[in-house]
Structure 1
Amino acid sequence: MAVSMFAWTQLNRKLGTHMSGGHGYEVLPSATAADSGEGAAEGEEEGRSSAFASTSLPGQQFGVMLEGSPRQTRDLQSASTFEQNESGVTAAAATATTEMNDLETNGGCMEASVDPEPKLPAWISTLGLENAQQLYRAYSETFPYICACAIVMGQTLAVFPPLTEAIVSSPKSTPKVTHLTAWHFLLFNIGDYLGRLCTKWIKCSSPRILHAVNGLRTLLIPLFLMFPTLATPAQRVLLIHSDLLFLFLVLVLGWTNGWVATIALIAGPRHATNKELAGSVLGFAMCIGLVVGAIASYPVLLLAGIS
């Protein structure tokens, strides 16, 4: 993680230097005005030089010679062309001024509507990780879904498969299921697939519902501890002697695992500005949940009497 963070920081620093090295430029208002003036002057000269080709008097269109000398005719044509060009330049300048005012107004509205950047914690600034601003923003925007994704994976890995594969068929179970371990692996994967598939119809955008489902899933841990294992002492009083109930709870464990994880991965990036980065953060949170769940499986096994 430390090496990855260092490489990511250096990459952002190089990219920032490359982007600010002259690829973009800023147009000064004076230069824009000068270019506009030159363009208008060139347009006037072109209009004057092409008066004979582009402008014809009504009498000439019908083959009728106008009264007056040819020089007077050219003067009239040049004067009318100049007036047309001048009016066109004035209209273009007015349109450009109106567009600039609209852009300034809309720009002000946009700047006012943009959410402020969340401030980095003091310890990040102390370590010199100011480039982590985008990462921290994605983390703060998707924090409820990050917790839901990590918790659901931690709960699943805490009992499946370390504890569930150690559960054996109870002699008092009616009916008694043979090959219980193989069946429980199959049902968990079926439940996980159906849970991910059901997100097309059972949708949720509230992180509170996801946390409520995770809270109910926590009750599955003590329930699994009530089933018999190879290490269960004979004098222990068991409360559950049903193989079918065990398989049903495994199916519920898989279904809720797939549904909550998929909903968190779908709904989380929708609340983030940088959706790609938010998806990566949620994937990393899922890995953290898997690690925490694997570590938590050891005390769960100790509670079940399995060393």
Structure 2
Amino acid sequence: MIPDAEGISYFSFIMVLIVLTGVTTSFYQSSVFSEASRLPPVYMQAVLSGQGVAGVIVALSSILSALAGKSTVEIDMDKDSINRSAFLYFLSAFLITLAALIGRLIVIRLPFYQYHMNASKPENSLSITEEAEVEAEDGAEEAQPLLLHEENSARLWAVVCKLSLFIFTVGFIFIITLMLFPSVTSLIKSVRRREESHTGGRFFDDDIFVAFHFLLFNIGDWVGRMMPLCKWFTITQIHWLAVLSALRTVFIPLFLICNIVVTGQRKWPVLIQSDFAYFVLMWLFSVTNGWICSLAMMAAPHLKSIQTAKEKSMVGSIMSFSLVVGLAIGGSLSFAVRSWV
């Protein structure tokens, strides 16, 4: 795409693209959660499941693109093989984005969607009109924007206080997840690596093995997001959800004792010397990520103290913000965790 860009210039360009991608993703995610909060809980679950499906597709395309190239143990990786893998990966991303855009255009025209999105408009417009008439009668029309801003700020803070445990639950889930995945988990390699022993198949090569762990995580995350549909896996008490979120801290030392391959001296012993045991650990890690997150996101907009459609929209935005903050904090702390290996 930029044939003459090298070194710092190319790196800076990629970093700018990543920042733009993160900003736009956060913006659209917040909008979607805000809308979904006005709908019944099953639709919030559907949004979260959609994210899980997207993760599975991306991980699967990563494996397929890797398989389209040559083995990493083959020294002479030709340029055509690399270009083919990259083309297939980004082509799949483009097709998924196009399908999402078409789906969005269809959804906004559905009567069900329009009914719930417009349900609060008469109430809000009447309230604003009444407030304007009162201000006009008191001769304080100039103060109306300030009063409305103060009222909205007070209402927002009240909603945040009501959601304090929900905010902690969702934020801490993704703090733990991003501390480990993928910064640490991508360093975990198969105990049957072909670089050390030429026995074994293509699966045990680093590129396929690491790509498979991405796929396994995303499938487990998707399964976890689907579990609230079953009443046996439904928990509505936020205190229990907060405890479950905090208990995920145990995954930090568990992943650090897996077969992490680093260039220097390891600081932790390799106690989990089985690929199967590592995959089970990854499965539990991913399922709890999707399951607890979905339960908290579904329950938050339907607290008894959250009554108006405007408050429900606030809940969606606040919970989305807590998710993003958790990702940011977890991503930052991942540097510290990685230094421990």
TM surpasses 0.5: yes
Q: 1:280 to 1:199 in 2, by over 3 A?
A: same
Aligned to 2:289: 257
Which residue, out of 11, 16, 21, partners 2:132? 21
Give 1:1-307 correspondences, 5 Å limit. Answer: 20-22=131-133, 131-171=152-192, 178=204, 179-201=208-230, 202-231=233-262, 233=265, 237-271=269-303, 272-273=306-307, 274-304=311-341
How far is 1:211 from its partner? 2.0
2:172 & 2:323 partners in 1: Cα distance?
8
- Render the CA deviation track for 1:116-143: whole Å, top value 9, x for unaligned: xxxxxxxxxxxx9564111011111111
CA contact (8 A) 1:142 1:269 kept: no
Displacement of 1:23 after TM fit? 9.0
Q: 1:136 to 1:230 in 2, by over 3 A?
A: same
Q: Report the residue type matching 1:21 in the other structure.
A: A
Does the 8 Å CA contact 1:187/1:250 hold for their aligned counterparts? yes
Q: SS in structure 2 opposite 1:295?
A: helix
Q: Name the CA distance, whole Å, in 2 between partners of 1:254 and 1:205.
A: 20
Query: By percentage of residues, which structure has more helix?
Result: 2
Looking at structure 1, the residues matched to 183 and 289 of structure 2 have their Cα atoms a distance apart, in angstroms, of: 16
Q: Does the CA contact (< 8 Å) of 2:172 and 2:246 recur in 1?
A: no
Secondary structure at the counterpart of residue 290 of structure 2: helix
The answer to whether the Cα contact below 8 Å between 2:166 and 2:238 also exists between their aligned partners in 1 is: yes
Matched residues, number: 190
Q: CA deviation at 1:286?
A: 0.6
**What do the CA deviations read for 1:226-258 (whole angstroms, capped 9, x no partner)?**
112221637964211111111111111111111
CA distance in 2, matches of 1:187, 1:221: 18
Specify the code of the residue in structure 1 equivalent to 2:276.
Answer: L
More deviation in 183-192 or 129-138? 129-138
- Deviates most, 175-184 or 238-247: 175-184
Instruction: Letter of the 1:133 partner, please give it.
Output: A
Q: Hey, what's the Cα distance between the residues in 1 that align with 2:152 and 2:268?
A: 57
Shift of 1:262: 0.8
Q: Percent of aligned positions with the same letter in both sequences? A: 29
Q: CA deviation at 1:216?
A: 2.4
Q: Which one has the largest radius of gyration? A: 1
Letter paired with 1:247: F
CA contact (8 A) 2:166 2:242 kept: no
Q: Which fold has the larger relative contact order, with Cα–Cα distance below 8 Å and residues 6 or more apart in sequence?
A: 2
Offset at 1:17? 7.9
Equivalent position amino acid for 2:182 in 1: P
- What amino acid is aligned across from residue 20 of structure 1 in structure 2? E
Amino acid at match of 1:268: A
Cα distance in 2 between the residues matched to 1:150 and 1:236: 28
TM norm structure 1: 0.55
Q: Against the structure 1 CA distance between its residues 143 and 250, is the aligned structure 2 distance closer, same or farther, given a 3 Å change threshold?
A: same
Contact conserved, 2:256 with 2:268, CA < 8 A, in 1?
Answer: no
User: Matched residues in 2 for 1:247 and 1:293: separation?
Assistant: 22
Task: Give 1:99's aligned residue.
Answer: none
User: For the residues of structure 2 that align with 1:252 and 1:160, how far apart are their CA atoms?
Assistant: 13
Secondary structure, counterpart of 2:157 in structure 1: helix
CA gap of 1:235–1:194, structure 2 versus 1, over 3 A, is: closer
